[in-house]
Amino acid sequence: MKKINIITPLFLVLVTLSILNSCVNDLDSIQKVTYDPKAPDEVTKNLRVFYTDSGFARVEIFASLAETYSKPIAIIKLKDGIKVNFFSAEGKIVSTLTALYGEVNYANGTFLVRDSVQLVNHEKHQRMSTEALYWNQKDSSIYTTSNVVVRSPEGVLYGDGIRTKQDFSEYEFLKPYGKFNFGK
């Protein structure tokens, strides 16, 4: 008769049970190791968003990278290039806003853009350049207190601060300076 070695199967059973028992994923422990309070809740590459009213496009936003945060306030950070097209009631792009960085703040309805900011009115062939500006989504106004340069076929205007509508059809400098040809 053969002698059965009971120690080997018993040892294998104990090792298997201990391995299975040790592979418990405790979510609290995992979160302590992997959680970063400064990390975004969502990350989106090549974002494209349309805002519509009654089925008509009003605003179109492009961003290379969008990071969504919910705490401490609901905010979206747009990075690596932003382009915003503003549409007329007829659905035609009337102005375009570009920048390298932006933040959409849902709490107060503002959109801050900064770094190489350009606002172009395509019909009037005028371009505004500044380093930072705000777009208030509630009343469609754009404003800044930074240095501003407006170029148009009529000339170049400089100022500290400006207020305009998002279509950039009319504008008001807060502190203007420079030369401008008003025609004959």
Q: Within a domain: residue 25?
A: no
Domain of 143 in residue numbering reads as 42-180
Per-residue model confidence (pLDDT) at position 82: 96
pTM score: 0.75
CA distances from 71 to 15, 33, 107, 138 (A): 45, 20, 12, 23
Q: Within a domain: residue 66?
A: yes
Rg (CA), the chain: 28
Q: Are 182 and 110 in contact (CB under 8 A)?
A: no
Q: What is the domain-level CATH number for residue 72?
A: 2.60.450.10
Per-residue model confidence (pLDDT) at position 15: 73
Total of domains in the chain: 1
Per-residue model confidence (pLDDT) at position 81: 95
Q: Within a domain: residue 35?
A: no
| Residue 168, token pair as written in the block | 């950039």
Per-residue model confidence (pLDDT) at position 38: 80
Q: Within a domain: residue 78?
A: yes
Per-residue model confidence (pLDDT) at position 54: 79
Per-residue model confidence (pLDDT) at position 50: 87
CA distances from 133 to 1, 40, 55, 155, 171 (A): 92, 24, 28, 22, 14
Instruction: Give 151's strand partners.
Output: 127, 156
Q: Within a domain: residue 100?
A: yes
As averages over each run of 10 residues, the pLDDT of the chain (184 residues) reads 61 70 62 71 92 83 94 91 93 95 91 96 96 92 95 90 93 82 59
Q: Within a domain: residue 46?
A: yes
Residue type, 14: L
Count CB neighbours of 97 within 10 A: 24
User: Token pair 């502190």 is at which residue?
Assistant: 175
Q: Within a domain: residue 113?
A: yes
List phi, psi (to 5°) of 77.
Answer: -100, 125
| Residue 17, token pair as written in the block | 């049970």
Q: Within a domain: residue 36?
A: no
Per-residue model confidence (pLDDT) at position 141: 93
Per-residue model confidence (pLDDT) at position 53: 81
